[in-house]
Structure 1
Amino acid sequence: MSEQNLSRRREERLDELTALLLAEGTGTAQDLAERFDVSLMTMHRDLDELERRGLVRKFRGGVTTQPSGVFESTVLFRQQAMIAQKQAIARAARRLVEPGMSIMLDDSTSVLELARLLDGITPLRVVTNFLTGLRTLAGTPGISLTALGGDYDPNHDSFLGVGCVEAIEALRVDAVFVSTSAAAEGLAYHQEQHIVSVKRAMLAAAARRFLLLDSGKLGRVALHRVVPLESFDLVIVDEGISEEQLADLRERGIPVEVA
């Protein structure tokens, strides 16, 4: 087989491997090698390549696309998780956006669902660091875009770092819509410090703050505290929230709406 055909065949296998891991979350190198009928050494090379591309995270004996308290899952995984819940939350958040507003959107897949609903709420100025969000809204009549620069992070498909924070600090918007990877005991959490810095800057740059939080993130913590949940004007959750979790939020005086 020619080198070109071998390369194409490997890319096809990598695509199939990525789809499988996104669907199942985790896998061992041995099991994956058997399922794809390749040697264990070949599978380790494939998994090393997927890790290099930021699509999986390796651990002893296997890989995962799922988040932990220290690592966030890839944007590809997050785009496939809790889709119906995120869409319900986005529909509730849409009513908070009015023509003539300036709004800031973070790089979360929950807020991406809101971006997909903004067509028709015009004129509107949208500020974001999320490349997927920029692509979604580019060319939409009546929506003006401001892209936040910085260092590109392929794991999040967004721009982060000092450059992004400084770009945010130069702006003031009517409202910001963000999500985070975990929330518990009245606090919002995230695994990665550079993400926390950007989210905090976004919250400081907005007159009103809204948190879009699917129920799968409730009752979980991560390495870094972002802000207290009471910092938000409204926290929008889906109906998967338990009665105990909802009661806890309300007892803490946190404004919450169930989509």
Structure 2
Amino acid sequence: MTKPGTPAASARSQENRRQLIAEHVVEHGTLTVAWLAEATGVSVMTVHRDLDALARRGVLRRFRGGVSALPTSVFESNLEYRAGVRVAEKEAIAQAAAELVEPGMSVMLDDSTSALALAGLLVGRTPLTVLTNARRVLDVFAGCEEIRLIALGGEYSPTHDSFLGVACVEAVEAMSVDLVVVSTSAMNAAMTFHQEQDVVLVKRAMLASGARTALLMDHSKMPRTALHRLCPVTDFDHVVVDAGVDAALLAELREQSGVDVRVAEAPR
């Protein structure tokens, strides 16, 4: 457990506050610095620093005396934003998902931050063949002698820090793996969604290439929808969620025929 007052605890508290600020701005559209300072219980100067950091990540837009939200499709796709939210939940989900991986398997990981969290846990489950379109996942495994690492290339996306497009889809379609692990931006009890067509096409190709498939989702993504349908929940063999999922929704997920639903408990 991280003790209050330690650098790690302070960093987590800062990220939690910045996540809360982002959520307030998205909900209201436009807010003043004074309003955010009162809502978060910190000084105006602290809010200014938080807003500067969020603006650098591409989450929101600053203007004199306030801040406004960028379009949902922009900030939800931004890797820096995604990497800083629901960290404990993603770590717990990754721990549970790691149980699906055994030495000797071939595993395909998408460019989600949930898959990135899982990647760090797989170094000790070698030998493995790992395929991914995510640059940061490539960095995790680069230099690991017992990892056969295959990069799924395509057109580089700075927003996602990954490779997408027709070339990536074609590279994925040429593969057949034991397990595909993905996440996405939204789901309900029946369907999964993503706001970007290019990302949907790559994820669909990935899912079609796996003997088994796993979906990693934290509770903030459900029940929600986005512009494009990815695939039905029943297309997945495993769904791994955190303990914050609404009980009624969890029950609906568990009623889905053939889907193994696992609930990951966050460390205390």
Whether 1:24 aligns to 2:21 is yes
Whether 1:56 aligns to 2:59 is yes
Contact 2:59–2:78 (CA<8 Å) still a contact in 1?
yes
Contact 1:71–1:192 (CA<8 Å) still a contact in 2?
no
Contact 1:149–1:167 (CA<8 Å) still a contact in 2?
yes
| Inter-partner Cα distance in structure 2 for 1:190 and 1:79 | 17
Whether 1:241 aligns to 2:245 is yes
Alpha-carbon shift at residue 143 of structure 1 (Å): 1.1
Alignment-mate amino acid for residue 258 of structure 1: V
Where does 1:33-48 land on structure 2 (aligned, <5 Å)?
Answer: none
Alignment-mate amino acid for residue 207 of structure 1: A
Give the one of 176, 182, 189 matched to 2:180.
Answer: 176
Alpha-carbon shift at residue 21 of structure 1 (Å): 6.3
Contact 1:22–1:76 (CA<8 Å) still a contact in 2?
no
Alpha-carbon shift at residue 148 of structure 1 (Å): 0.9
**Alignment partner, residue 123 of structure 2:** 119
Contact 1:129–1:148 (CA<8 Å) still a contact in 2?
yes
Distance verdict in 2 for CA 1:71–1:200, change over 3 Å? farther
Alpha-carbon shift at residue 81 of structure 1 (Å): 0.7
Unaligned 5+ segments in structure 1 are 1-19, 37-46
Contact 1:151–1:164 (CA<8 Å) still a contact in 2?
yes
What's the CA shift string for 1:75-121, capped at 9, x where partnerless?
A: 11111111111111111111111111111000000111100101121
Give the one of 230, 248, 252 matched to 2:256.
Answer: 252
Distance verdict in 2 for CA 1:70–1:247, change over 3 Å? farther
Distance verdict in 2 for CA 1:245–1:197, change over 3 Å? same
| Inter-partner Cα distance in structure 2 for 1:252 and 1:123 | 33
| SS of alignment partner, residue 119 of structure 1 | helix
Unaligned 5+ segments in structure 2 are 1-16, 35-43, 46-51
Distance verdict in 2 for CA 1:54–1:88, change over 3 Å? closer
Alpha-carbon shift at residue 63 of structure 1 (Å): 3.7
TM-score by length of 1: 0.78
How many residue pairs get aligned? The number is 228
Alignment RMSD: 3.0
| SS of alignment partner, residue 235 of structure 1 | strand
Whether 1:79 aligns to 2:79 is no
Alignment-mate amino acid for residue 55 of structure 1: G
Contact 2:193–2:225 (CA<8 Å) still a contact in 1?
yes
Alpha-carbon shift at residue 242 of structure 1 (Å): 1.7
| Inter-partner Cα distance in structure 1 for 2:141 and 2:30 | 39
Alpha-carbon shift at residue 207 of structure 1 (Å): 0.7
Distance verdict in 2 for CA 1:127–1:133, change over 3 Å? same
| SS of alignment partner, residue 117 of structure 1 | helix
| Inter-partner Cα distance in structure 2 for 1:55 and 1:210 | 29
Q: Tell me which structure has the larger Cα radius of gyration.
A: 1
Give the one of 195, 201, 204 matched to 1:200.
Answer: 204
Alignment-mate amino acid for residue 146 of structure 2: G
Contact 2:76–2:82 (CA<8 Å) still a contact in 1?
no
Give the one of 220, 224, 236 matched to 1:216.
Answer: 220
Alpha-carbon shift at residue 243 of structure 1 (Å): 1.2
What's the CA shift string for 1:114-143, capped at 9, x where partnerless?
A: 001011211111000001111122112311
Alignment-mate amino acid for residue 217 of structure 2: L
| SS of alignment partner, residue 116 of structure 1 | helix
Distance verdict in 2 for CA 1:126–1:215, change over 3 Å? same
Distance verdict in 2 for CA 1:99–1:58, change over 3 Å? same
**Alignment partner, residue 106 of structure 1:** 110
Alignment-mate amino acid for residue 263 of structure 2: V
**Alignment partner, residue 135 of structure 2:** 131
What's the CA shift string for 1:34-67, capped at 9, x where partnerless?
A: x68xxxxxxxxxx9xx98x8723559984437x8
Alignment-mate amino acid for residue 206 of structure 2: M
Contact 2:131–2:150 (CA<8 Å) still a contact in 1?
yes
Contact 1:176–1:206 (CA<8 Å) still a contact in 2?
yes
